[in-house]
Amino acid sequence: MQRLEISDLITAVDPHSGRRLPVRRAEAVRLLRESGDGHAAGIVAGLPADEDGVLDPRAVDRLLISVHTELQRLSEELRIGERLLHLLGPLFTAIRETSGQPGPYRLVDVGCGLGYLVRRLAATGALGADVELVGVDLDAALVGEADRLARAEGLDCRFVHGNAFDLPEAATVYVSTGVLHHFRGPALAEFFRAQAASPALAFCHFDIAATRLAPIGAWVFHRARMRHPLGRHDGVVSARRAHSDETLLRAADVPGMRPLLYEPHGTVNPFCTTLRPVLGVRPHLEAPLRRALGRAARRLVGPEHLAGGVR
């Protein structure tokens, strides 16, 4: 029986307009109980709701901002910013080498949350002044907090409430962290197809490596670092919902993009929850990307290099 994440159930928005939709507490509790997760159902049952049983949106927003603040600390401890830059630096080098024209280029962080990645890249300036940094999320409260933090820190980046694929300006590269496991079934391939159908030249999405011991590592790490039960619960469920290397490469194998996996299963530490990225590049970018990566390019594999290949 598939486990559900609480954070996916206690908020709802129209995917096109971004308009907040009411969520009935009893419905979220029902779904969690039917999935066999009584503990999560109990967490949701304790959240405030109005007399009609609709979850209090302000209380939900405060809770999610608090949980995402703790997730930012985890990202700092896991050095996610450095790991992403390890690939984005060479990727933009390859793009500049093959574009034939100067920027500006645009990096769009899908499901940016509090914008930790975008804000870190803006603070370091590591990608260069010719890269515009944009974070996008369907959750207005998270985007608002991300924007507040960026302004307080005096950073040159921006945040948008809405659908990352409906922006008026085209992205050069799409990125995300901890988003892919939220897409189930056909929705995962649709996510990659939307990027391939855009003018984007590449994508780079980090998510949890589906190792056998990842849920145990997630339990230990989130138990030690997360204060609210929701954060602890969803951290472990995220690890259980992680997609296999084969699933990711199959879904990312969309027309116009060459799917690649960095640090595939077998090269990651199985004793903790480890993030690793799946990439997609326009075919003409693969060779210059490998040159820019240098020796690290050996960690970059396509579907044909996994055991038995991917069909």
**Listed range (88-102, 181-195, 214-228, 238-252) with the worst mean pLDDT:** 214-228
- Report how far residue 118's alpha carbon sits from residue 120's, in angstroms, rounded to the nearest whole number: 5
With H, G, I as helix, E, B as strand and everything else as coil, classify residue 51: coil
Tell whether the model's pLDDT for residue 270 goes beyond 50. no
pLDDT of residue 273: 45
Average pLDDT over residues 273-300: 92
The pLDDT-based confidence of 214 (bands split at 50, 70, 90) is: low
Residue 83 near residue 69 (C-beta atoms within 8 A): no
- Report how far residue 153's alpha carbon sits from residue 122's, in angstroms, rounded to the nearest whole number: 10
Helix residue ranges per DSSP H, the chain:
6-9, 25-34, 38-45, 57-77, 80-99, 116-124, 140-152, 186-196, 214-225, 229-240, 245-252, 286-293
**Listed range (68-77, 93-102, 195-204, 243-252) with the worst mean pLDDT:** 68-77
For 127-181, write each residue's pLDDT tens digit: 999 999 999 999 999 999 999 999 999 999 999 999 999 999 989 999 999 999 9
Residue 268 near residue 205 (C-beta atoms within 8 A): no
- Measured N-to-C along each axis, helices 25-34 and 38-45 cross at an angle, to the nearest 10 degrees, of 170
- Report how far residue 142's alpha carbon sits from residue 90's, in angstroms, rounded to the nearest whole number: 30
- Report how far residue 129's alpha carbon sits from residue 263's, in angstroms, rounded to the nearest whole number: 29
CA distance readout (Å), 291 to 89, 94, 212, 294, 305: 12, 8, 33, 5, 19
Tell whether the model's pLDDT for residue 60 goes beyond 90. yes
With H, G, I as helix, E, B as strand and everything else as coil, classify residue 180: helix
The pLDDT-based confidence of 254 (bands split at 50, 70, 90) is: very high
For 295-308, write each residue's pLDDT tens digit: 999 999 998 876 55
Tell whether the model's pLDDT for residue 22 goes beyond 90. yes
Highest mean pLDDT: which of 209-218, 230-239, 241-250?
A: 241-250
Residue 85 near residue 126 (C-beta atoms within 8 A): yes
Tell whether the model's pLDDT for residue 253 goes beyond 80. yes
For 104-118, write each residue's pLDDT tens digit: 999 999 999 999 999
User: Which candidate, 190, 201, 203, 204, places its Cα nearest to that of 282?
Assistant: 201
Tell whether the model's pLDDT for residue 245 goes beyond 60. yes
pLDDT of residue 165: 93
Average pLDDT over residues 20-33: 96
Tell whether the model's pLDDT for residue 268 goes beyond 50. no
**Mean model confidence pLDDT for the chain:** 88
